[in-house]
Structure 1
Amino acid sequence: MNIALVTGSAGLIGSESVAFFADKFDLVIGIDNNLRQYFFGTDASTEWNRNRLAEAYPNYEHYTADIRKVEELEPIFKKYGTDITLIVHTAAQPSHDWAAREPFTDFSVNATGTLNMLEMTRQNCPEAVFIFTSTNKVYGDNPNYLPLIETETRWEIDENHPYFKNGIDEQMSIDHTKHSLFGASKVAADILVQEYGRYFGMKTGIFRGGCLTGPNHSGAQLHGFLSYLMKCAITGNHYTIFGYKGKQVRDNIHSYDLVNMFWHYYQNPRAGEVYNAGGGRYANCSMLEGIAICEEISGNKMSYSYSETNRIGDHIWYISDLSKFKEHYPGWNWTYDLKQTLVQIHDGMVQRLQLQK
């Protein structure tokens, strides 16, 4: 039997992974205990997505195990053993602000949970490919010290800088910078996954995501930029822009395109390799530009205000350079641009909101 195991399986990237791999593996195992609801409230619950997966994919099997507890993970790994050939570890506490509220919880989920998953893999299925969804926040606020120029709707990097053409590459330092506690816990996990590849020779791949998005995102104010933005555009809820004049830039990658990167890596893995993963120059926007697109798609004028207080460790300008991944895996490319992604988010969200009535 050929098995894929996905943590955070009811979340955005986890559920996309389940859908993507369901016809490529005999069985897809999901681990998700809906901690997102604890982090961000009832509106961020992923229960709807878990139910959707169970109905849509007969070869999907769900476990509500907590990745912080080895005693809950071990029986799963013991049961399936070396039949597990792919692990996609997406479970995380994903918010800067929330991490500062409960540092112990944040670190236990992001760092200790990742260590637990790595050890369970090493002990039970060491030949499996282990894919970790890291974050661009491992670079801390180093991107904010690049030579940035303010334009009418966005911050942009000086056109003479090496990063202007394709964005920030994997050689940017993750040291001597302010990360936020969330960023720090993800750094710990990122380095652990690298080390299990380099030290133990395991097939571990690290994907440092920009803004990950798509129609199955349970967006909340503290996490899920485009999803929450569109939700406010549809419902009329007030949106607050935090700092940088609303001109801060994010690159955005559709969840399908990211999981397709995982698939390419799985077929020819490189031990302990690190890749930036985002929309790059292909799909990016500032907050102001994102609001304008959401208004256009929804047909609604958004209610929003501006706060001078930016989030600690937040990026002013971040665009991922995917040149390294595209060199290693030339068969991969983006399939969804920014507007296509936002139309999908809009349509999926309208459908869910109607079902809730």
Structure 2
Amino acid sequence: MAVAIVTGSAGLVGAAAVRKFAAQGLDVVGIDNDLRRHFFGEAASTAWNRQVLEREIPAYRHVSADIRDADAIDRVFADHAGSIKAIVHAAAQPSHDWAARDPIMDFSVNANGTLVLLEATRKHAPDAAFVFLSTNKVYGDTPNDLPLVEQEMRFELDPAHPYARHGIDEHMSIDGTLHSLFGVSKAAADLLVQEYGRYFGLRTACFRGGCLTGADHSGAELHGFLAYLMRCAVTDKPYTVFGHKAKQVRDNIHADDLAAALWAFVERPRPASVYNIGGGRHANCSMLEAIAGCERRTGRPMRWSYSDDARTGDHIWWVSDTRRFQADFPDWRYRYDLDGILDQMHAAVERRLAHDAA
């Protein structure tokens, strides 16, 4: 039986990948030690999602291991050598702010952990597809140099700019820019994944994501803004927007749509691929628009406040140009638009609150 190894398997994207790959007939080995709880506290723990996966997916086997532990990772890969079809690397420390608090741990998880996985792949599964969940933060704050126009509810790109119609493509430089320490650790991992494709011929891909989201997201104040925003809206909890007049724009891709994209690559992999992946022009919003969307679903105003202190290296406007990926995999389609994402999130928060109250 073909095997997929998924790191961060109890997280948002990891769990979506587990479900997608199991549905395609693969056995799935998930590696996740719930570091998210350490990063963001009990409310962000993914332990609940692990329990759901183990209960609902017979083809899933969980391994509680740290991706920095080379011996533990080597044992997992060695146990399945000859059967590994795909590695989906979705484990990460994902927050700008947290990285600045502990740069050594951030880099060790994001960069060193990726290197451990690449070496295990080269040793035990050189013909497998290796898919890395990178980030648009590898471009640093270069997007903030784009000519922006302030509108009532958002910043928008000058219509005359080449990126205006489709968003930002993979030709944007990652050099000469302020990345944040998180952006640096992810850029290091991104380059490693590319180099193992070019130098060693591994079939690697870097998916440089915009905002990855969905109803299963364990959103926290420092990461997963749309899920956390909806939870605050439903529970009437205060929310703070940082900087840019609350008009900063993000594109949003549902984890299930992303998992489908990962599977498309696994079916036809190639070395050292790089793709910007996100909601693109199909699904994006400003903070003000996201707040309004949450308020329409709860039927009451949110308790939110504004701080002029923008996060270091934060993007003012990001919309992914996904045309490179869509050209390579023309059968892939979005299933969720922004309204569909928000509707699903709202229903999920209501269900969890009802469950907790029962």
Q: TM-score, normalised on structure 2? A: 0.99
Larger mean CA deviation between 292-301 and 223-232 belongs to: 292-301
**2:141 corresponds to 1:141:** yes
Alpha-carbon distance in 1 for matches of 2:133, 2:352: 27
* C-alpha distance in 2 between matches for 1:23 and 1:333: 18
Rounded to whole Å, the distance in 2 between the matches of 1:76 and 1:229 is 37
1:299 Cα deviation (Å)? 1.9
How far 1:160 sits from its partner (Å)?
0.3
Q: TM-score, normalised by structure 1?
A: 0.99
Note the 1:88-127 alignment, pairs <5 A: 88-127=88-127
| CA–CA distance in structure 2, aligned partners of residues 52 and 317 of structure 1 | 36
Q: CA deviation at 1:25?
A: 3.1
How well do the aligned residues superpose, as a CA RMSD in angstroms? 0.7
Alignment match, 2:325:
325
CA separation in 2, counterparts of 1:335 and 1:46? Answer: 25
Residue 231 of structure 2 aligns with an amino acid whose one-letter code is: K
The separation in 1 between residues aligned to 2:192 and 2:319, in whole angstroms, is: 25
Amino acid of the structure 2 residue aligned with 1:20: K
Q: Counterpart of 2:265?
A: 265
Alignment of 1:154-233 (within 5 A): 154-233=154-233
**Cross-structure match for 1:251:** 251
The alpha carbon displacement at 1:155 in A equals: 0.4
Gaps of 5+ in 2: none
| Paired amino acid for 1:142 | T
CA distances 1:271-324 after superposition (whole Å, capped 9, x unpaired): 101000000001000000000001111223210000000000000000000011
Distance in 2 (CA, whole Å) between partners of 1:110 and 1:336 is 29
Q: Distance in 2 between matches of 1:214 and 1:26?
A: 23
Deviation at 1:348, TM superposition (A): 1.3
- In structure 2, the partner of 1:72 is 72
State, as a whole percentage, how many aligned pairs show the same letter: 57
Deviations 1:193-231 (A, max 9, x none): 000001111100110000000010000000001000000
Q: Which amino acid aligns with 2:326?
A: K
Amino acid at match of 2:146: L
Query: 2:23 is paired with a residue of what secondary structure?
Result: coil
Residue number in structure 2 paired with 1:303? 303
Equivalent-residue separation in structure 2 for 1:313 and 1:247 (angstroms): 16
More divergent stretch after superposition (291-300 vs 127-136): 291-300
Structure 1: 5+ residue stretches without partners = none
Q: Are 1:284 and 2:292 counterparts?
A: no
**Farther off after superposition, 327-336 or 5-14:** 327-336
Alignment partner of 2:176: what SS? coil
The code of the aligned residue for 1:209 comes to G
The amino acid across from 2:337 in the alignment is D
Judge conservation of contact 1:4–1:25 (CA < 8 Å) in 2: no
Number of equivalenced pairs: 357
State whether structure 2 residue 14 is matched by structure 1 residue 14. Answer: yes
CA distance in 1, matches of 2:54, 2:355: 18
2:51 corresponds to: 51
Superposed displacement of residue 267, structure 1: 1.1
Query: Is this contact kept in 2: 1:220–1:228, CA < 8 A?
Result: yes
Over 3 Å off, 4+ runs: none
